[in-house]
Amino acid sequence: MKRLVSLIFVLIVIVLSSCSLSDDQPNYYFVPLQVVSAELPESFSLHETYQINVTYVLPNGCASFEGFDVTPIAETTRNVVPIGSQFDDPECVDGMAEVEGSFNFICLYTDAYLFRFWTGEDENGEQEYLEIEVPVTQ
């Protein structure tokens, strides 16, 4: 019995020691991307779908766009933040690039909508937004 327990213990040690957490895989993290401008219609109609075009900045060649985080803050207030993935790569190409993306929005309420597009932080670390209000026509 001792021999069987010893054999099992040795096998477990071999299996666990053969696992390696090497840094061969690319490392990345998610970052907010600054909005430069946004195109919205002059008004919305109830239950209609609209394409919202947003111009944002990719900070360098190691950043790529992943999607938009559209967060309801109140019934008709939305914070919009483009999200990018940033790779840790010492050979990264520097240089900012303005890129345009879009997302679809469905008008569900009759009150005017306030869109707050994230433009970065000020010198005190406070979040700054480009605010655009769109009325809803009936």
What global pTM score does this model have? 0.78
DSSP strand pairing (49-60 vs 94-106): antiparallel
Please name which of 61, 80, 67, 64 lies closest in space to residue 119, comparing C-alpha atoms.
80
Give residue-wise pLDDT tens across range 77-91. Answer: 999 999 999 888 767
Cα 12 from Cα 28, distance rounded (Å): 32
Which CATH code fits 26-137? 2.60.40
User: Distance between CA atoms of 24 and 22, rounded to whole angstroms?
Assistant: 5
Backbone angles phi, psi at 39, to 5 degrees: -110, 120
The rounded percent of the chain whose pLDDT value lies above 90 is 65
Q: Which pLDDT score, from 0 to 100, does residue 81 have? A: 98
Share of the chain above pLDDT 70, in %: 80
* Cβ pair 107, 137 in contact under 8 A: no
How far, in Å, CA of 44 to CA of 113, rounded? 9
At 28-37, the pLDDT tens digits run: 889 999 999 9
Question: What is residue 96's predicted lDDT score, i.e. its pLDDT?
Answer: 84
Q: Where are the domains of the chain?
A: 26-137
pLDDT recorded at residue 46: 96
Higher pLDDT, 12 or 18: 12
pLDDT at site 20: 53
d(CA 69, CA 81): 5
For residue 107, pLDDT over 60 is answered with yes
